[in-house]
Chain A
């Protein structure tokens, strides 16, 4: 069975600094998708970034980028130039590309941004 682990329950970062959130996963599949979702206090779940496992190039979206290490089954999220609005819960998620399409989420990391 696939699992997703976020070992950092909480992280803090100074405004304008860079922070990295960790995510590891376990799967026997060779092809899959990985995602980072953001959940601000408003409770909305917002897709931040997506990575296809077959792509070696790390995905980037403005200030957000990932470090995808397929062999190590690691998928960390880097937030550059942190802003107060980045404060939220961040969830790492995994999905197979075939068979069941359900998402498997990690337990989340709460990010605090300090002014």
Chain B
């Protein structure tokens, strides 16, 4: 069974659209994260939730809104997509805040 699963794996869409990426972990972890990996492979944290509460919110446009319905899920919704949003987005989870993270396989988002 996949520990951290993201859907979809690939997402191709037009500029201006709204899209969501889902993430689920079956590890029983309390903390979940979203990272953005740009074309230069630089990995940067966007958000972190601990027990459904937002604890890290980096300088990310308001168009990005994470939602955690329960501690096993952390979805990422993006409004008004822009060309610069093209990247691979990784979800991750850890047992508790700051512990080593287990990553999902990533979602490649391409904006046309």
Contacts and interface: CB of A to CB of B under 8 A. Distances in A.
B90 A45 contact: yes
A101 B48 contact: yes
A78 interface: no
B77 interface: no
Contacts of B98: 33, 95, 97, 101
A42 B2 CA distance: 14
B68 interface: no
Interface residues of B, number: 23
Interface in A65-87: none
B88 interface: yes
Interface in B95-112: 97-98, 100-106, 108
A105 B43 contact: yes
Given A101-B97, A102-B58, A44 B103 contact: yes
Interface of B: 40-45, 48, 55-56, 58, 88, 90, 92, 97-98, 100-106, 108
Interface of A: 33, 35, 37, 42-47, 50, 89, 91, 95, 97, 100-103, 105, 107-108
